[in-house]
Chain A
Amino acid sequence: MKKVLLMALFGLVAAAPAYALDGTEILARVDRHLEPPSYESYRKLINIEPNGSEKDYVLFTAKKGRDKILAVFLSPASEKGRSTLRLGDNMWLYVPEVGKPIRVNSLQSVVGGIFNNADILRLDYSVEYHVASVIETPDNQYLLSLKAVNGAVAYDQLKMWVNKTKFLPTKIECYTATGLLIKTLHFSDIKDFGDGIVRPAMVTTDSPLYKGYKSVMLYAGVKARTFRDEVFTLDFMPRADTLLPH
Chain B
Amino acid sequence: MADAGGSNAVSEPGSGDATHHWWRIIGLWVVLSAIADPLFYYLAGPHIPPGTMSNTADGAQFDFNILIVAALPVILAVWIYMAYAIINWRASRNGPEPVGGPKARSNIPIQATWIGFTTVLVLFLFGFGTYELVQPGGAGGGEGPSPIWTPASHSVLPIQVIGQQWKWTYRYPTYGGFETTDLVVPDNTAVAFHVTSLDVVHDFWVYQLGVKADANPGQDNVAFTTPQQLGSFVVRCDELCGLWHGAMFDYGKVVTPAQFQSWATTTERQLAANTKYLPPFAWTYTPDANGADGGYYPDNVDPYSPVLTYGAKQPGEPLPKT
Do A and B associate with each other? no
